[in-house]
Structure 1
Amino acid sequence: MTGHNDAQADGQGRIYQASGNQHITEHHHHSPDWSGPDSVRRPAVGRAPVVLRDRTGEMDRLRAAVEPGIGNRVYVLHGLGGCGKTAVACTLFDHATNQAGRIGLWVNASDPASLRAGMLAVAADRGATDGELMGARSGLRPAADLVWQRLDHSDRPWLLVLDNADDPAILRDGGWLRTSPAGIVIVTSRQAAAHWWPGAELLQFGVLPRDEAALVLRDLAPHAGTVEEAAEVADRLGRLPLALTLAGGFLAHQVIDPWTMADYGRRLDGGEGLDPIELIDQGAVDSSDSRHLLSRTWQLSLDALANQGLPEADSLLRLLACWAGDPLPLALLSGADVGSDLPAFRIESALRGLLDQSLTELVPGGVRCLRTHGVLIDSVTRTTPADQRELLAATAARQLKAALPEAPERGAQDPRVSMLAPHVLALLRRVVDWSVDRLVVEEATQCSLWLVVALHRGGDYSSALAVANKAVELAKQRLPEDHQLVLRLRQRVGRAVYRLGRFEEAEALHRQVLEACERSLGSAALDTLESCLGLSRPLWQLGHEPEAMPLIRRAMAGRTEMLGSVHPLTLVARAYILEVAPGPELYEEIAMGQTLVADCHRTAGEQHSITLMAELDQADLLRRAGRAAEALPCARRAFAAHEQRFGSEYPITLAARSLLSTVLAELGQYAEAIEHAEAVVEGRTRVLGASHPWTLSPQKRLGQYRRSHRQP
């Protein structure tokens, strides 16, 4: 101010400057200068657990930590949001205050303001004066020093819980996290990186075991269904404590038309137009708190990562959500690039951020994997912006194709291949639900086809069938039934059914696919010729060689014309003729077999699977022609080569061993024939099952060999 009216106000005073007569009326309303929590002596939780399920080992460790005379320790309970860290801290709080003789102090550490206010309230509780508190609030004295001075001089031992400390930097700034001989500190956090917690003991928390997860639902809604029904719902919820608590709360508080557990489980599958995540969130007590809602709790962690300079973590999580919640080989992320939102060189740092925030986790094992919770994936998927879906799905498909073998050899596959099955199907489901461009749907469908072929050639026929059936069901929602990829998947269904010994069913399936191929692709197309071979196999097993042989000859002729006589696909068709040739044609086919084996050696190599197949078929052809003595050395070589190439229990190795056993028996060498037949029966029982036709037939022959061997 200027002139002769200079003045100074103090406290609540005011200064007014005017010329002329003025009448001023001022009213003062005094209110308490306090913005802290109403209480630090009670856990600030939305819904305390009725009974804390599982966590027995962790609770034993924590109960021991709050026994009398123990201090100077910090325990960090970390894990995915919603995994029950706060519930464990709350249970320990009750034990410490009711049985262990400690004062319990509870502070919300989710943001700087709440932490500061809560810790100053702790200082007040432990005897800080109004003057000391005012100095700390105004910045005239270090607030954290005041709090810890009062905690150090507490007249009673205490337990301090710093809940929801998902950003450890908040604790580090100002030195809010310390130890004291007077008490024990418990921190709950999603932040798993050990470097944030020097000197602390870290306890990781995940999902609940199936039985315990079912009991959480039963604790809240005991009349809604049986334990097994509750377990099925728990599985659908990924056994995540937050999801279980929300579901149980919803079931417990319905009034007009209460649902059973089974009703709830059906609606979780998305029936009746219900969004599963929205349904789960309806069980929340406080719908304004993001931590209590599945649809919003993860965003807290992503916001924290963005504040730490890792906005790419959001895009990486959306990419992971294109796949499944099963263990995902880390190699799948190598070279991933989702444009400017997630360039390849930022994948590593984004992944570390997700790991640190417990949004995904590393899985121990022979193959380095990470796992993202299924409910989190569902939640992220539903909120993925429509304009990002196509790029994410295309990237996910590209990464899968790079990890899958395009033309796998027969024999044991890379263990990572079978691990990709749930992720391939999850991606196909995403592209169907998201209505992305048809080209992306085709890429995802191609991934499923490559996977099915790899599983089949690895000898896992049941998995190949399951994946193929599901892939057909999903792909047909976006692609026409006569699309080449759909037809090829249907062919693989028929092949898997045949390998599982269901010959009549395989015949019907292959007939349908052959008709579809002829109708949409033409009679000379390679896929049509493949269906001819596919149909020939069950026909042969059912004793219909006269119908099978023309199909094989048609395939061989067509492939020879289009590809040449020594193309791998033509060589396969030529080998089929050797295997199926009926009696009148045996002698003619033996010469063809010799030529075929020579062509295979020359063009494919001695150890190639097609060469081994041709040699095995030639040995069987000699046996059927009555030339067992000539067939024996061929059968021995075929078995030895298959065992070396594929292992002793690979299906084709067992077929080679079965042939060797049969040739030995025909030559009267029953002791060795029985030895091999026993190994075949045992192996096929393990691999194919005791009731499979290919297990029963050698079992029957084994009995015949034993009887013949006992005869004088």
Structure 2
Amino acid sequence: MPIDGRASGQGRVFQTGGDQYIEEHHHHYGAGTGSLLAPQPVGPRPPQGATVPDSVRVPLVGRAPGILRDRADLMERLRTAVTGPGGDVHVLHGLGGCGKTAVAHALFTEAVRDHGRVGLWVNASERISLRAGMLAVAGDRGATTGELAAAASGQRAAADLVWHYLDHSAQRWLLVLDNADDPTVLEEGGWLRTSPLGTVLVTTRHATSPLWRGIGSARHPVGVLPEADAAQVLCDLAPDAGTVESAQKVARRLGCLPLALTLAGSHLSHQLLESWSMDEYDRKLSEDSTALVDQGAAGTGSGQSRHLVGRTWQLSLDALAGQGLPEATTLLRLLSCWAADPVPLSLLMPVARGEVDFGHLDPPLARDRVEPALRGLLDHSLIGMVEADGRRCVQAHGVLLDSVAAGVPEVQRGVLAEAAGRLLEAALPQEDAVPSKTPTGWELLAPHVSRLLQTAPGELPAGLAVRIARLMHHAGNFPGALKQARYAAGTAERCLGSDHPVFLTARDAEAWALQYLTHFADAEAVHRQTLAARESVLGPDHPETLRSHLALGLSLNQLGRHEEAVQSVRRAIDGQRRALGADAVETLFSRSMLLEILPELGRSEEFDEAAKVTEDCDRFLPPEHLTTVFAYHGYGEGLRLLGRYAEAEPVARRALEGRTRLQGPEHPLTMAALSLTALVAHGLGRLDEAIAIQQQLLERRERVLGSEHPFTALSRERLTRWQAEARPDRP
């Protein structure tokens, strides 16, 4: 049947005698002229799930903070960009949960309310939501239904359409691309561009994407809050839960992470059956921080994974696995065995060299995949690069490590803890009774040893904790050594028993620390208990038993029981000569200790014979060995006690030079050597010199030990007395 039709303007008439499929598109970018003039094609449809967002004019996010804390400088830079000429892209990058979206929300609100900008908000977390959101932006800026349908069906370039209408917007705008954690989503199709009419703000966990550099963006790291501001966030949300001081404790435990703070404050403010204070919440956090914090999600109005502390990191790990880096999960699990302190990259080198096998874990971590896995964790802001004590380190947030550790499969926990311990063991300085010099770098490992001992108590972590205590002792940190040794001893006793060698070693370290803290009676009691246990468990001639004889002798000397002290030290020396040899470091060290005891008994001849240890140290030990310095220090002190000041002077100066060179000017034993030089100068009648040295010593001890320390008080008393001697005519 013939069909008559008529068209006018830009209309078309098509006539056919059979089934035909006809498409015709006319794309125009004049004002209001773009349209789809043909019937809708029977062809591709928008991808399933690509629904248009409810709004691009309202940030579709979880609960935003009523007050944005600490971000004043960042907000000022972004505010300047929004009110400026336009054409900028700004990238907020950082760890999940650090508040990037909160900053974007605050800027969005200001731009609309105070600066007359059109605010446009798009969820850029995945391709579907980005495409749908950007097409909605085009519609908001004037694109017609026909143009949008063509773009949605794949009949025209969607990104070109969007940016045409952004470039021809009648109003200036701010476009927020939120949660762009996979920059390839923006890169494919050219979604990220610039326009003279507006500013683009991107929030992402991906800090180092080439896309950010290629677009010429300004990048802004967003980190955790300062403690005071973090505490105020809790007080903002739960003002009746406690004091600012209590809030600071909770904030500190949560690492000042904004997401965790928001959830914690919401939990505290929405309790019905219980009403915890900040202090009670802090105690509960010690049991299961991640699970407890996530209970606050109900009060924020969002339970999405992105808004849960316990799941937010998994989004990044899933993305890394999708990019071919499943090993990043295993590497982060290894890091979760340690503390939230800087981890020296050197600690991971044995993994990269294949010296520690992770091939049987799931996912496996091959030696050649360590570098890519590290890079992936850095790129996704799961770890950051920092410098500590001049060493390159990586660092992860404490709450992140807690949640990752909680998610480690049970079958892998022991394997990971063992590997973490072996890596620490390899990185610590080799154990030596008296090291050649104070080690450097081990201080960074101390918190990781403590964390491992806390989460996976056993023989290896406890032994490492004792080594840390000894290193602290040799570095002059006697309070730290005491605390570390007691913690190691308590844990070792619970998990290994009171007769285990590691427990006894921890008790030995505790007693040495007590001794150097001048708690001589307590030190003597612990040394005696340790000696008895070692004789029973290890035998009377075991090196550790002999070491306890030496330690007990030194404690007895400090208590004025000099005869007993000589007997105990000689017992150690005799046993060490038989078991270790006359030229062994421990034997020479024990011999040097006699030099401080024999003068107390007035045994000059025995002292002169014992002083030959200095010659043996020079002969058998490497140059500048610390045991040699100990020997000369003891020799100088003994000469002083015997009143042989002229002989003591060069010996004391050599001891001071050695201690200063090997242990630093503010080490307690260096200050003891400085004290010796002052006493020798006083004994030689050089009063002005003695006063000057004593004044210097008092200043150091006040600075390092504190004004109330017994050695500080002794220096102050001597200085006062010597100054009075120098001015006998004054009252």
TM-score (norm 1): 0.91
Deviation at 1:34, TM superposition (A): 7.6
Deviation at 1:377, TM superposition (A): 0.3
Deviation at 1:641, TM superposition (A): 3.4
Distance 1:659 1:364, change over 3 A: closer
CA offsets, 1:403-438, max 9 Å, x none?
A: 210136658645421111111111222223xxxxxx
**Among residues 48, 54, 64, which one is paired with 2:70 in the alignment?**
54
Q: Is the 8 A contact 2:241 2:276 kept in 1?
A: yes
Q: Distance in 2 between matches of 1:650 and 1:291?
A: 50
Q: Please state whether the residue corresponding to 1:64 is helix, strand or coil.
A: helix
Q: Is the 8 A contact 1:600 1:606 kept in 2?
A: no
Q: Please state whether the residue corresponding to 2:202 is helix, strand or coil.
A: strand
Q: Please state whether the residue corresponding to 2:603 is helix, strand or coil.
A: helix
Partner of 2:129: 114
**Mapping for residues 129-144 of structure 1, pairs under 5 Å:** 129-144=144-159
CA offsets, 1:53-95, max 9 Å, x none?
A: 111100011111111x521111111100000000000111110
**Among residues 355, 365, 378, which one is paired with 1:342 in the alignment?**
365
CA offsets, 1:69-127, max 9 Å, x none?
A: 52111111110000000000011111011111011111111111111111111111111
Distance 1:568 1:63, change over 3 A: same
Q: Distance in 2 between matches of 1:287 and 1:9?
A: 51
Larger mean CA deviation between 144-153 and 235-244 belongs to 144-153
Distance 1:563 1:157, change over 3 A: same
Letter of the 2:370 counterpart: I
Q: Distance in 2 between matches of 1:161 and 1:678?
A: 64
Partner of 1:72: 87
Partner of 2:381: 358
**Among residues 221, 228, 232, which one is paired with 1:204 in the alignment?**
221
**Mapping for residues 585-596 of structure 1, pairs under 5 Å:** 586-596=603-613
Deviation at 1:305, TM superposition (A): 0.9
Q: Is the 8 A contact 1:606 1:612 kept in 2?
A: no
1:557 aligns with 2:570: no
Q: Distance in 2 between matches of 1:117 and 1:252?
A: 36
Partner of 2:632: 615
Letter of the 1:93 counterpart: F
Partner of 1:672: 689
Partner of 1:244: 261
Partner of 2:182: 167
Q: Distance in 2 between matches of 1:49 and 1:620?
A: 66
Partner of 2:166: 151
Partner of 2:399: 375
Q: Distance in 1 between matches of 2:264 and 2:664?
A: 49
1:278 aligns with 2:286: no
Q: Is the 8 A contact 1:500 1:692 kept in 2?
A: no
Distance 1:476 1:583, change over 3 A: closer
Q: Please state whether the residue corresponding to 1:185 is helix, strand or coil.
A: strand
Partner of 1:18: none
Distance 1:34 1:606, change over 3 A: closer
Larger mean CA deviation between 240-249 and 594-603 belongs to 594-603
**Among residues 155, 159, 180, which one is paired with 2:195 in the alignment?**
180
**Mapping for residues 634-649 of structure 1, pairs under 5 Å:** 634-649=651-666
Partner of 1:460: 477
Deviation at 1:335, TM superposition (A): 2.4
CA offsets, 1:445-465, max 9 Å, x none?
A: 232222222221122222222
Letter of the 1:58 counterpart: L
Distance 1:63 1:558, change over 3 A: same
Larger mean CA deviation between 444-453 and 107-116 belongs to 444-453
Q: Is the 8 A contact 2:182 2:206 kept in 1?
A: yes
1:425 aligns with 2:450: yes
**Mapping for residues 520-669 of structure 1, pairs under 5 Å:** 520-581=537-598, 583-584=600-601, 586-669=603-686
Q: Is the 8 A contact 1:338 1:392 kept in 2?
A: no
Partner of 2:499: 482
Letter of the 1:309 counterpart: G
Q: Distance in 2 between matches of 1:153 and 1:464?
A: 69
Letter of the 1:322 counterpart: C
Deviation at 1:289, TM superposition (A): 1.1
Matched pairs, number: 674
Deviation at 1:392, TM superposition (A): 1.7
Distance 1:176 1:628, change over 3 A: same
CA offsets, 1:313-360, max 9 Å, x none?
A: 111111111111111212111121442211222111111110110000
**Among residues 380, 398, 408, which one is paired with 1:384 in the alignment?**
408
Q: Is the 8 A contact 2:637 2:676 kept in 1?
A: yes
Structure 2 segments unaligned to the other structure (5+ residues): 1-17, 23-47
Q: Distance in 1 between matches of 2:496 and 2:611?
A: 44
Deviation at 1:292, TM superposition (A): 0.7
Q: Is the 8 A contact 1:501 1:694 kept in 2?
A: no
Partner of 1:37: 53
Q: Is the 8 A contact 1:529 1:554 kept in 2?
A: yes
Q: Is the 8 A contact 1:593 1:614 kept in 2?
A: no
Distance 1:33 1:218, change over 3 A: closer
**Among residues 275, 281, 284, which one is paired with 1:264 in the alignment?**
281
CA offsets, 1:185-229, max 9 Å, x none?
A: 111000000522121110100100001000111111100111110
TM-score (norm 2): 0.88
Partner of 1:328: 343
Q: Is the 8 A contact 1:539 1:548 kept in 2?
A: yes
Q: Please state whether the residue corresponding to 2:611 is helix, strand or coil.
A: helix
Partner of 1:393: 417
Q: Distance in 2 between matches of 1:163 and 1:452?
A: 48
**Among residues 281, 305, 310, which one is paired with 1:290 in the alignment?**
305
Percent identical residues: 49
Distance 1:584 1:53, change over 3 A: closer
Partner of 1:436: none
Partner of 2:38: none
CA offsets, 1:675-695, max 9 Å, x none?
A: 222222222222222222222
Partner of 2:43: none
